[in-house]
A and B are shown apart, each in its own frame.
Chain A
Amino acid sequence: MKRHWILPSSCATLRSFIVVLLFLSIPAAGFAQTPQASPVASPLAGSGIVQEPFGEVADGPVEKYTLSNDNGMSVSILTYGAIIQSLKVPDRNGYAADVVLGFDTIQEYVDKSPYFGAVVGRYANRIAKGTFELDGETYTLAINNDPNSLHGGTQGFDKHLWTAEEIQDTGGPSLKLTRVSPDGEEGYPGTLTVSVTYTLTASNELRIEYEATTDKLTVLNLSNHSYFNLAGEGSGNIFDQTLQLHASHFTPVDDTLIPTGEIAPVAGTPFDFRVAKPIGQEIRDGSSEQILIAHGFDHNFVLDRPAPDDTSMIVAAVATDPASGRVLTVSTDQPGVQFYSGNFLDGSFAGKSGNVYRQGDAFCLETQHFPDSPNQPDFPSTELAPGDTFSSTTVFAFSTR
């Protein structure tokens, strides 16, 4: 185990901290404990990064990097898929819970993960019929979500090893993950050099900074597919958790979940989250064709911006868990956010807590360009040209209420 501390700290302190955490995380008698009852260990003094092995995939060993700050928050990142494997956040009383769905072993990620915590690319979300035209060329992608291509194809960015590098000169412990996606990978043109930098700040923000360059004209859409449950993963459904979206419009979909091209107002629909409301409030509204198609929410919301080409950082979403007091504020420079209410979780497997994930046990807020943009001339462009650098930032900020 390699340890790197930004603030001075001894290995002995770290070891006792880990022992305390292990002790506190032993479930009490009975089963299906909610992961609420693990108080933040006070020995945590100083932020830092801990590196540990996390098993192996066909391409080689996987490492887990855990970034911690002074406020009892920590995030674990895997070099496989640049996955956020764990995100421990204190509630209003200082009790930490892991608020993202995931697994304890790499094999589970390989075998059955519905993109838990992963960076998805090259093209996050769907491209209709797995084909698009660029500069007069037609490109063909894997149809891995019949009849469409989803999240970069059969082996997207979520199923590759990334190269990790600890960065020490930012506002907190920081980890940069890089990979080079060869020309033609999954049918996409251009050699793409892509990096994702995760930084945990002292103010309980997890910053995600994406960068990419190409040697040929290509298309690109990068997102993180974390599944949040602010009461703690495995603790139940998220219907009482509230959501506010800074979006007056959304992009309705056809019955294969491809945008129709319409930019529809949310007013008067269950998609109106401009004022915070419980996620469960209208998720069963069978009069909404759009909800029926997706079995809930699984839609791209068009973030309200002063101008169509504005790329300033704005608050996209605020989610709260009234019971624990945890608040997640998502900020981004992207034009859209996919709000997904965990509709395809079906109780067929368990996660880290040992508890099964059932339908509606989590929500995703995937900041992004609009789905199927390469085939939708009216959507903001997702093209990246040689010589240009794609750069984008999303922040998951945690607080309590």
Chain B
Amino acid sequence: MTHTVTRERTAYGDVDGQPVEQFVLDDGTIRVAILSFGAIIQEIWVPDRNGNEANVNLGFATLEPYTRKHPHFGAVLGRFANRLGPASFELDGTTWHVTENKPGFSAHGGAKPFDMYVWSAEEVDVDGQPAVKLTHVSPDGDEGYPGTLTASVTYSLTEDHGLRLDYHAETDKPTVVNLTNHAYFNLAGEGSGTVDDHRLQMFASRYTPTDDNQVTTGEIAPVEGTAFDFREEKRLGEVLRDASDPQLKLARGLDHNLVIDRPDRLPRTLVPVARLRDPGSGRVMHVSSTEPGVQVYASNSLDGSIAGYSGRLYRQGDAICFETQAFPNAPNRPSFPSSVVRPGEPFVSTTIYAFSTEPA
């Protein structure tokens, strides 16, 4: 059977007078809604083992709540995702000061990260199937970062029912880049409860510990003997309550960058990152990426104050994020893989969230 994707394009209101569009990609098994505002993944509908669909992605059913401060549901973050501390870095002998939007560091690109802009949308084909490419141009000096950065993310559906994200960014001056998507997953369906019962396996033997501000220290530590050892599958509920690990306690749960294993030793090939499954529904998600790291975040800061897509409140631990990325704070940590991008050498990156089911 050939894999056929359909694409729908709909006007979806406006932000500050700029029209926003919603794109729906559907391959008959999974259906994904993307917004041109923030390049946000708004919905991911996936069947369970009995064929019942659920939206496994936290978010909102309308545009408006995305335009206010929210925990970056489904959003693309940039220029530099995660924490850069201090809020400055040195590149080719020049020190660049970027927006310190949190005390002591810069988070997710600064005061107005990429998810607060309307991106320009373009219908494209990927592997002969309809897809959508969203582009945002960040001017030279935006939030203190050097260079005009033209960043794009192309959303497509793969044959194995994966949502594929292809990032591309080019600059006219040397700069640093870290692009990710902050989607919150709950394989039982958004708003249905916690992910305590989900089982997680990670293809990561090392992680990057942080200081008290959750800024990476530069150390690359083995996961062995820590709460971050997911090389064999674990139930999340137990790990999230494991107070024996000071790093875990510091973050009130999982909120750490794991170093993705690269058995082939090649720097940017597509390799397995994580396997998440929900025994209740039978839904399984495989994450793969070309990125060196992945921020695993167990939605520790959700607190029951936000009503989401289905109108249900999101509470602590109701979702988990897999933010594929450069290591946090890479520009200030020489021991980490470089996040520098130069003119003529574009940043290219791919991440796939693929969905399947397992029998009871």
Contact = CB atoms under 8 A, between A and B. Distances in A.
Interface of A: 31-32, 234, 236-237, 239, 280, 283-287, 291-292, 295-296, 343, 346-350, 354-361
A346 B252 contact: yes
B312 A285 contact: yes
A237 B315 CA distance: 11
Interface stretch (B2-10, B20-28, B124-132, B239-247): B239-247
A287 B311 contact: yes
Interface string B304-318: 110110011111110
Contacts, number: 101
Contacts of A32: 238-239, 241-242
B253 interface: yes
Contacts of A296: 304, 313, 315
Most buried by A among B238, B248, B307, B315: B315
A287 to B, nearest CB: 6
B252 A348 contact: yes
B196 interface: yes
Most buried by B among A236, A280, A347, A360: A347
A284 B312 contact: yes
Given A31-B244, A355-B241, A356-B240, A283 B303 contact: no
B243 A285 contact: no
17 contacts: A236-B237, A239-B193, A280-B193, A283-B315, A284-B315, A286-B313, A291-B304, A292-B313, A343-B304, A347-B252, A347-B253, A347-B316, A355-B243, A356-B242, A356-B243, A356-B248, A360-B316
A295 B249 contact: no
Given A285-B312, A295-B315, A296-B315, 16 more contacts: A31-B242, A32-B239, A236-B241, A237-B237, A283-B315, A284-B314, A284-B315, A343-B303, A347-B252, A356-B243, A356-B248, A356-B252, A358-B253, A359-B315, A359-B316, A361-B241
Contacts of A236: 196, 237, 241
A343 B237 CA distance: 17
B244 A354 contact: yes
A358 B239 CA distance: 12
Interface in B279-312: 300, 303-305, 307-308, 311-312
A234 B237 CA distance: 10
Closest 9 interchain pairs by CB? A286-B307, A350-B243, A295-B304, A359-B316, A347-B252, A284-B312, A32-B238, A355-B241, A284-B313
B120 to A, nearest CB: 33
B191 interface: yes
A346 B303 contact: yes
B227 interface: yes
Nearest to B248: A356
Nearest to B300: A347
Contacts of A237: 194, 196, 237, 317
A286 B312 contact: yes
B193 A295 contact: no
Given A286-B308, A354-B244, A346 B313 contact: no
Contacts of A31: 227, 238, 242, 244
Contacts of A287: 307, 311
Contact of B194 (A239, A350, A355, A356): A239
Contacts of A291: 304, 313
B187 to A, nearest CB: 17
B313 A285 contact: yes
B311 A286 contact: yes
A357 B317 CA distance: 12
Nearest to B310: A286
Contacts of A239: 193-194
Contacts of A234: 241
B303 to A, nearest CB: 6
Interface string B211-243: 000000000000000010000000001111111
A347 B240 contact: yes
Most buried by A among B248, B249, B313: B313
Most buried by A among B241, B304, B312: B241
A343 B227 CA distance: 25
Contact of A359 (B191, B237, B303, B312): B303
